[in-house]
Amino acid sequence: MSERPIHRRAAGRAACVTRACAFHRAALCLLLAGSVAACDRRVQVAGPPEGPREGGAAGQAAAGNAAPPPAQAGAAPPGPAPAGAEAAATKGAPAAEGAPAPPPANAAELARPAKCGGVPPLKLTLVASGFDQPTYVAAPPGDPARLVVLEKPGILRLVKDGAVQPAPFLDVRSRVFFPAPNAEGGLLGLAFHPDYARNGRFWLHYSSAPRGNVVIEEWKRGAQGEGAAHPEPVRSLVDVKHGAWNHVGGMLAFGKDGHLYAAIGDSARSPSPAADLTSKLGKILRIDVDQPGKAPAGNMTSGDPMIWDYGLRNPWRFSFDRLTGDLYIGDVGQKSWEEILVERPGQGRNDYGWEAMEGAHCYPPGAACKPRGVPPAVEHPRSEAGSIVGGYVYRGAKIPCLRGRYLYADYVTGRFFSFVWDGKAATDRAELTTALSPNGLPASFGEDAAGEIYVVMFNTGRIYRIDPG
């Protein structure tokens, strides 16, 4: 049994307690180690850093220079959104050749059995390794045999029946740009169309050459089938100036409404554009992929028509509960608080507070303010987490008693956490670090077609699956 109350470990991660200390330690580590991966290993051996924070004027000034703190260097990995057949039906996706769409799972198959205790025993199983700075893993909906792993420099690797295929699924390295090896940009996000089996459509989120714009593009399956994508994009949906090495965001996923959601960070500018409704930075976007120029009903009615939620700092990873459609967002904090936000389906247009608020607290720390925006479902102080990585609500088949539980992690400390959202509040919070014994820094989670959850270790280049312990 690995469940452990969070508070028991809250005070055990001392070392750097100030932002300046942490930043300088990170910079020193990079100088000594020569690469982010090496630095991460050193940090891990030496003990996790306390969460070096960049951002603001300092973060922006650092654009183009080498030496961002390693805490967020890996923060660069998005997601599949197996929204299921109902989304496909809603959107009326054109049928083409290929395998038929899988039948939708029914609610009973996705729900937690009545007779379950707390968190069931869990373990990590190594699935594939040897990836170069993996940022994300996803599976085509309904395809039990394949995974696609994103590598930050711009290669999509195909894993078939557990074997990494020698030829890339797609190579976009010539289109990807990030200003320093440890900058947060790169190839960060992938979402397959819910009806990908028929239409072969998918989308990428990356920072582009030559200046690091945030780009969201549609791509398609190659003429030869599943082994490779078509080598050129179909069309661009978003191409927005960003200009910083950090706070890029990176997640893509389809909601059960059939629309594509995308996360873009605030570029670490100060003042932050997170609350500026004319800017796509610091936002969750929501896009009708069949009419990308038209705002879907429910989006913000003023400002940029793609905006769904705002007031976000760096929503690196979000996901949808494939049963309920609830949206879970992990928003990386600045000085003191990491946060997870939960949103009911269809209930967007939320202000999540940044940069007046950090978590449920006025920002800067100690400032007086009139609280603004929707508070987080869960927040972690810097003593527990330094760069939050949003995960998934488990709805797989292998661990029925884990169903309905949201799993997430922290990139800086390597700790894993979970809770159950009861519709109003986070309940039954637990730490799962011991059970999942990460042996790496978790940069992202991902799901396969069956809803099993995977963990992406950026610094060791490994992909693990969460299995029954």
Token pair for residue 306? Answer: 């793609």
Token pair for residue 207? Answer: 């920072």
Calpha distance 187→177 (Å, rounded): 9
Is position 353 an interface residue for Ca ion (rule: CB under 5 A)? yes
Closer Cβ to Ca ion, 353 or 390, answer by number:
353
Q: In 3D, which of 391, 397, 406 has the Cα closest to residue 454?
A: 391
In the complex, minimum distance from the CB of residue 372 to Ca ion, in angstroms, rounded to a whole number = 9
3-state secondary structure string, 401-445? HHCCCEEEEECCCCCEEEEEECCCCEEEEEECHHHHCCCCCEEEE
Is position 392 an interface residue for Ca ion (rule: CB under 5 A)? no
Stretch that binds Ca ion, among 80-88, 111-119, 353-361, 408-416 (CB under 5 A): 353-361
DSSP letter for each residue of 12-69: ---S--SHHHHHHHHHHHHHHHSSHHHHHHHHHHH---------HHHHHHTTTSS---
Alpha carbon of 30 to those of 53, 193, 296, 382: distances in Å? 15, 39, 44, 22
Q: In 3D, which of 38, 77, 7, 15 has the Cα closest to residue 442?
A: 77
Is position 282 an interface residue for Ca ion (rule: CB under 5 A)? no
Q: In 3D, which of 163, 154, 161, 174 has the Cα closest to residue 130?
A: 163
Q: Which of 352, 394, 454, 464 binds Ca ion (CB under 5 A)?
A: 352
Calpha distance 179→177 (Å, rounded): 7
H or E segment to which residue 240 belongs: strand 235-240
Stretch that binds Ca ion, among 25-33, 91-99, 175-183, 350-358 (CB under 5 A): 350-358
Stretch that binds Ca ion, among 82-90, 262-270, 347-355, 363-371 (CB under 5 A): 347-355
In the complex, minimum distance from the CB of residue 96 to Ca ion, in angstroms, rounded to a whole number = 41
Stretch that binds Ca ion, among 171-179, 348-356, 387-395, 397-405 (CB under 5 A): 348-356
Taking residues 135 to 174 in sequence order and writing x for each that binds Ca ion by CB under 5 A, - otherwise, the string is ----------------------------------------
What is the size of the binding site for Ca ion (CB under 5 A)?
2
In the complex, minimum distance from the CB of residue 423 to Ca ion, in angstroms, rounded to a whole number = 20
Is position 219 an interface residue for Ca ion (rule: CB under 5 A)? no
Closer Cβ to Ca ion, 312 or 399, answer by number:
312
Q: Which residue is nearest to Ca ion (CB)?
A: 353
Stretch that binds Ca ion, among 79-87, 186-194, 207-215, 351-359 (CB under 5 A): 351-359
Bridge partners of 410? 388
Closer Cβ to Ca ion, 8 or 424, answer by number:
424
Q: Which residues bind Ca ion (CB under 5 A)?
A: 352-353
